[in-house]
Structure formats: C-alpha cells, structure tokens
Amino acid sequence: MRKQIAAANWKMNMTFQQGEKLLDDILGVDIHLKEHQQVIFAVPFPYLLMTRSEVEDEFNYEVAAQNCYHKKSGAYTGEVSADMLHSTGVNYCIVGHSERREYFAETNAMLADKVNLCLENFITPIFCCGEALSIREANTQNDFVAQQLKESLFHLSAKQIKGIIVAYEPIWAIGTGKTATTGQAQEMHAHLRSVLAGQYGADVANEIPILYGGSVKANNAKELFSCPDVDGGLVGGASLVATDFVEIIKALK
C-alpha cells in the first residue's frame, strides 16, 4: 500500500513555546501508526531542530521545512539551502506551495531546481501543484496541473520520481467561499496519477503518494482520505489545533 500521510503545514504561525506545546499535545495522544502511515510536521525554520528532537523517538513521525532556496549556496542573505537542511537532519521539504508561487513568483523551472537540490541532499520534496479559480472556471485545470508536473518533475528518472510526494491544492476552493467536493478531489488526484503514469508507467505512478491540500478538516478528513487516489492531506489551519490534527491522523487509511 502507498504511504498514507498527514502533513501539517504551520505556515508563519505559532511562537516557539506555542509550537512546543502543540507538539506535546499531539504526541501525548496514544496513536499507533501503521507501517504505511506517516505524520510530517512542516514548521518554520527556527523550530526545525526543536521539532526534530520532539519526534525523533516517535515511530513514523518526521519533520519538514516549508521551503528551500533554488541555489546550492552563495550570497543570498536570508535564504536557506537544501544542504543546510540536510546538515540538521531534516528529511522533507515542501516545494512550490501555492503561496510561494503567488507571493514570491516561484516558477516551474525554479521549482525543478529545488527538487533537484532536495534529492541531491537526500530530502524528500513534497511537491505542490494546483489551479486558481480562473483556471477552474475556464475548465483548463487538467492541462494546467499536468504542465506543472511536466516542467518541474519530468526530468527525473523513474527511481527519482518514486522519491517524491505530490500535494494537490485546489487554490480556487481556499478562502473563496467555494467548496471542492470529495468527487472533485478524487477526480483531480486520479488525473495527476494518470499524468505520472503516462510518463513513468502505472507501476511507478501507483507508488507515489498524492496528498490533498484543500482545507482538510477534522470533520471531512475521513471522507476525503477514503478516496482511492487520495493518500492523506497537507493540512493548514487544522494542523494548529491539536484535537483537530489528531482526528485527521486517525482518519488515514
């Protein structure tokens, strides 16, 4: 069975002390993850070492960075490289989140460089893709997300692509008042898997976890995760509430 993953993206939230308490509250709950289940905490850079220390003795709990720079090293004040992350024991990194694409003008080509640097440093990229409302309304979302995959990932070998986690973000359904249905989530996840299969074959595509990143909540996680091609969630706001995120973890297949 593919990995089933509950990934928490704290974004730019929580003080250090609040983050510690949140982790303690979540890890204090008696959850027995199965071999194929995984929980990943994507926390702000200042909290990476603290979070790694909190989870290092927990089974199938991991820590992720929320971003890395697209250059190996150099005079880029304020940026963090994949090599730096690797040197601190971080094994996962979000790449291409919709907020990074929108607010920081990250391109597909730039994200291809980030993916390469992560893999070179033994870091698993959590590669985000997804379409805005205008693209969904024009009914061109399938071609749009396929292009994101092709331009950022399809230079990889079959062995390398199996080391990627994909996360689908329906940007049009986040903060717009519109709601993505379970059927729409499954439809896009199946499409993404078919695009991967077209390039790498069905056997490889069926090994790649595809997470849903469209406002996963405690009350909808089980239904979303029951979809055959939805392998968990990349969770924003609900990951900041211990009781909610615990329920999301419990909803994993």
> Is 169 annotated as catalytic?
yes
Choose, from 70, 86, 97, 189, the residue flagged as catalytic.
97
10 Å CB burial of residue 40 (0-12, 13-18, 19+) is: buried
What backbone torsions phi and psi does residue 76 show, to the nearest 5 degrees? -125, 75
CA atoms of 19 and 10, how far apart (whole Å): 9
Q: Give the Å distances, CA to CA, from 150 to 91, 161, 198.
A: 24, 12, 11
What backbone torsions phi and psi does residue 45 show, to the nearest 5 degrees? -50, -45
> Is 79 annotated as catalytic?
no
Strand duo 4-9 + 232-235: pairing: parallel
Choose, from 70, 169, 189, 247, the residue flagged as catalytic.
169
Question: What does the radius of gyration of the chain's CA atoms come to, in whole angstroms?
Answer: 17
- Cα separation of the two ends of the chain: 10
Q: Could you give the residue numbers annotated as active site? A: 97, 169
